[in-house]
């Protein structure tokens, strides 16, 4: 399958670092480490079908649910937990969607996630694998202070 990229997405194939940064600012979920949990969930939800995510927060943990899985972010250890919640959301998205963090954002206190349909990611990895590895982090490179407690097959 040959994929068609939007004008902004073309930066992922042959754009400069500045062009990729512009794409991050325009089309990604921007998560500050001190971010409000509901706001983080809302920002991801804007790029997903309605009711794709639900959030529950209590004194001990944040629970985030998708149509595919449920993850818990314990509110223990060193706060804040915004980046942990974002990584948990990326891990439990429904199978037809994926979120990948821009590698260049991982060294800061603000991570940027690019959310696209799974088929888009499959085609991008197949056609631009080296560029994919340069630009995006794998889930194993993200914060992992969360636990997936249920997952549909």
What is residue 116's predicted lDDT score, i.e. its pLDDT?
95
Q: Order across the sheet with 147-151: list the strands.
A: 53-57, 61-66, 69-74, 147-151
141 pLDDT tier (thresholds 50, 70, 90): confident
52: tokens are 């794709």
How far apart CA 141 and CA 70 sit, in angstroms, is 20
Quote the pLDDT of residue 119. 92
| pTM of full prediction above 0.85 | yes
pLDDT band at 1; cut points 50, 70, 90: low
Does residue 4 have a cis bond before it (omega within 30 degrees)?
no
pLDDT tens-digit series, residues 55-106: 999 999 999 999 889 999 999 988 789 999 999 999 999 879 999 999 999 9
Check if the beta carbon of residue 84 is closer than 8 Å to that of residue 147: no
Looking at the DSSP bridge assignments, the partners of residue 114 are 100
Strands (E), 4-146: 29-32, 53-57, 61-66, 69-74, 97-102, 110-117, 136-137
Determine phi and psi for 8, rounding to 5 degrees. Answer: -65, -40
Nearest CA-CA partner of 132 in 100, 86, 110: 100
């Amino acid at each position: 399958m040959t994929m068609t990229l939007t004008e902004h997405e073309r930066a992922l194939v042959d754009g400069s670092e500045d062009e990729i940064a512009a794409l991050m600012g325009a089309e990604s979920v921007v998560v500050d480490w001190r971010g409000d949990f509901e706001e983080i969930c809302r920002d991801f939800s804007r790029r997903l079908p309605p009711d794709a995510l639900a959030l529950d927060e209590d004194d001990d943990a944040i629970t985030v649910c998708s149509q595919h899985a449920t993850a818990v972010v314990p509110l223990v250890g060193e706060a804040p937990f915004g980046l942990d919640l974002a990584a948990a959301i990326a891990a439990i998205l429904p199978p037809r969607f994926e979120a990948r963090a821009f590698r260049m954002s991982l060294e800061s206190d603000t991570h940027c996630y690019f959310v696209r349909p799974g088929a888009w990611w499959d085609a991008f990895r197949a056609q631009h694998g080296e560029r994919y590895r340069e630009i995006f982090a794998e889930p194993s490179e993200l914060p992992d202070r969360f636990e997936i407690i249920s997952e549909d097959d």
